[in-house]
Structure 1
């Protein structure tokens, strides 16, 4: 795997490059893990804070909404004012808001705390990849480092339920936020000690209008996606939100094409290597987040595992992601980026078709096989696609490239949870209503049962003993019907991503760069010396 050209860095920075990578990986792990760790705490929030179903949704989604909405702006901030500085600001903010969130006493205040955590996360995540890109000068080493970075990102998604499950076995719900404090403190020390400073030497004036438009556009799109399952996908509210989102995206693109110093160089999407890799990342994380959403419910609600038991049983996918992400750059050297990325998405598609056959008594060893195939597919996709995104830009645009990469991940994840959740719920409710016992239940029992399988178990505790078995059987069957259809939809999305990568992603980085100027920079990329401290 090879980037378009090499550049030179300070010798002292070169000597400590692997220490820099270790610190960056810890920052990524904490930030990404927080997106999934809260899921296993939701039942405790109902008991301790009295949260409603809608409040639970926003406790999860507030973080993602703010995180995604600010990524492009945060990447631009790091490019202009320093990636190390952005890391320090972001980590400090994330530490403080984690303490704040863990100390809240009402659902509404916790939602606010989660949103504030998203601000720090948005500063951290793009800065990590930008620093990495500007620390590793050798193309092969840089590709390997990106593979490790990508592995840590994927592992953190799967590790959230495991860490959260263990904490809830021993502590109160706030521990899922307070666990960030020691991890971030260690990371702050590491950043201060080994991470070099780098920035865009040209330091053009900040594109304030572009910044505001990017936040408004991404925020509106994500908000609409999150709310669409509640509003209804064909409702007036969803249509209005979609129309406003499209209008804001169009306004943002129009402005960025005409402003002398754009925050986000839109023309980089004319580079097939960049655009095809972005689509691949979106499809991969759509599938991953959809999987986490479904499998945690399957383990806890159908198989009746505790949060810790459910979390531990997702470990195979994390291990497979890590192993495949590290191995992917070597495989790319042999067969090329196109084959690896398209093949990875193809494996993800196959894994979801396999998962769609799961039943209430499927042997865990079979589920392990499904998760391993999924993890290998994601690892093969994410690392090479991320390298393609970063290798398409000049080094001084690394923050923006990282922010685009991170935004595609978060948008993919948001779409995965929203779309797959909506499909699942629609099929689940339809299957319940087609059952024999459910239509005969009183309204006070039907409503909670339609809301979730978790609520259905509470309803079962109040039913006559003679009906409980038949009732829970119908609920389980309805869940599995929703799981099957949702997994099939996810498989189709992953397959579409594989076809797109096979058609448009260059076979190798060299082919895409031969004689081509960098569209973000307006010309050929030249070697240079990056500023360091």
Structure 2
């Protein structure tokens, strides 16, 4: 374990003083770019459609390729970082992200743009788990780590919510490719800064990297998400929809069985036996499903129903950003006061209330209603994500930080991809019936069928028809979209309330005494003193003062042994 001990000592040196906060700034800048790229294209979809003329399926892939590829590769690159170094994987991800951004900005066909978005997903898969696993190592103190995670999740929310604002400004003043071009100078700056400032870290020396297992996980996640997408568009019984879903599910089952048998697994499956860890992962999926799916639909509503410009659309979404920032800034205090269960559960309830409030939206602009709804939505979802991420990361052993971060980020991206697929499918299913009787009023059947694909396509068909028939088709499409939006919001609210029920399995309190010293991880010398000659088992460890800090009344407060990160025990495993 010499390599692990050396890495740990370097990390502890980096964590002293203000250095760890500088590291946090660099990690947050990395995450900001990745999160920004996940949503910056949303307001540019109409411009991309007009310029490249992609098919309906092609347009979905332009939007979905990034989150789907990123989600499928997070486990691969997260566990690879545990083996070869998280900073090394992170820096390589920076370089690939910059190259893919240049390719996307200059794309002249839907195929090239889809390929570039897929490469961006590969770069994002290298960056996202590395930022979270380095954060886990640099902040061993749980209270400080909670604050750092609050900043980290707030930056993720800011990036996702600021994407439409940045994209709207660029599309309005330049061309749609500029939404990708902004990544290049930022990556050119952050690559040398990251190489200079970020500490290198690895997990314990866990033997050879399971390449086959990593590929099985990647193919399994991709198959499951593809199956969900196709079921939404083609129906549950369609063989083309069932095939990838079944193949993906089988691969994931085989991956889990393989990890259980291996001496040095990629993912410690035992982590899922902890209710808090499993529940936190599920809550992340549900929260992101609601956020990204609703945001994409909201962007279409603001632009196509209310006829706002891309920049105005982005500005309308700013309240969501500010609310998310406020929730992230106060998240550490809230978590310590109310505990993970209440923070995550009530975050879901608040988000569901916001979604139900937004069902009052109609064909006319109601800015106050939208602002209140977006504020509640941003604050509720960010509170949920903060509590879930902190619980998940604190439950994982420190030497498995890369694998745990990969699981969390896979959940994040999987939820985002499923949100677009699931809520988009619900939206399409509720939107299409609005055109069933238009032929009775003189609208050509072919025109009605084409308009039922999407609201944007309906407007194009209406413009070609012109006259009273065109106006009739346009009004029917707008009304059908609003009706579909209401159905989608109700479905989303139901899923969010299920998340609130699931949050009841989280710990009631943050497992950390209020005294700050009690939350400090023991120094490497403590286990050596408590594990000397004549000591055996875990009972003598509980009597060591650093592990049993006094509470406010001077009584000793035992500290759960499972909270000790593996690197401080000197044996590479947490004390049991």
**TM-score, normalised on structure 2?**
0.86
Per-residue deviation, 1:477: 1.3
Q: Whole-Å Cα distance in 2 between the matches of residues 162 and 496 of structure 1?
A: 31
Structure 1 residues without counterparts, runs of 5 or longer? 1-6
The structure 2 residue matched to 1:313, chosen from 308, 313, 316, is 316
Please identify, of 98-107 and 70-79, the stretch whose mean Cα deviation from structure 2 is larger: 98-107
Q: Which residue in 2 is equivalent to 1:508? A: 509
Shift of 1:530: 13
Distance 2:217 2:140 in 1: 31
Aligned residue runs from structure 1 range 198-217, under 5 A: 198-217=201-220
What is the alpha-carbon distance in structure 1 between the residues aligned to residue 487 and residue 273 of structure 2? 35
Q: What pairs up with 1:210-225 in 2 under 5 angstroms? A: 210-225=213-228
Kindly state the Cα deviation for residue 423 of structure 1 after the two structures are TM-superposed. Answer: 0.8
Shift of 1:352: 1.0
Displacement of 1:235: 1.6
Q: Distance in 1 between matches of 2:152 and 2:374?
A: 21
Q: 2:443 maps to which residue?
A: 441
Alignment of 1:48-447 (within 5 A): 48-433=51-436, 435=437, 440-447=442-449
- Cα RMSD, aligned residues only: 2.2
Higher RCO, Cα 8 Å, sep 6+: 1
Q: How many residues align?
A: 519
State how 1:485-500 maps to structure 2 within 5 Å.
Answer: 485-500=487-502
Is the 1:162–1:312 Cα contact (8 Å) retained in structure 2? Answer: yes
Instruction: Encode CA deviations 1:434-468: one digit per residue, 9 max, x unaligned.
Output: x5567642133113211111112122223343344
CA distance in 2 between counterparts of 1:530 and 1:147 reads 31
In structure 1, the residue corresponding to 2:170 is in which secondary structure?
Answer: helix
Note the C-alpha offset of 1:432: 2.6
How far does residue 332 in structure 1 lie from its aligned partner after superposition? Answer: 1.3
**Aligned pair 1:527/2:568, yes or no?**
yes
Q: Tell me how far apart the structure 2 counterparts of residues 183 and 104 of structure 1 sit (CA, whole Å).
A: 20
Partner Cα separation in structure 2 for residue 411 and residue 358 of structure 1: 28
Is the Cα–Cα contact under 8 Å of residues 355 and 367 in structure 1 kept in the other structure? yes
- The corresponding residue for 2:535 is none
Q: Corresponding residue for 2:3?
A: none
Displacement of 1:329 in angstroms is 1.4
Q: CA deviation at 1:370?
A: 0.4
Change over 3 Å in CA distance of 1:222–1:305 after alignment to 2: same
1:21 aligns with 2:24: yes
**3-state DSSP of counterpart to 1:104:** coil
Does structure 2 retain, via aligned residues, the 8 Å contact 1:341–1:384? Answer: yes
Structure 1 residue 471: Cα displacement: 3.0
Q: Output the CA distance in 1 between the equivalents of 2:57 and 2:411.
A: 26
Rounded to whole Å, the distance in 2 between the matches of 1:194 and 1:331 is: 31
TM-score when normalising by structure 1:
0.93
Instruction: Return the alpha-carbon distance in structure 2 between the equivalents of residues 101 and 275 of structure 1.
Output: 36
Distance change >3 Å, CA 285–CA 369, structure 1 → 2: same
Q: In terms of mean alpha carbon deviation, does 257-266 or 200-209 score higher?
A: 200-209
Per-residue CA shift, 1:351-394, capped at 9, x if unaligned?
11111221112411111000011111011111121011110112
Q: Cα gap change, 1:278/1:12 in structure 2, threshold over 3 Å: closer, same or farther?
A: closer
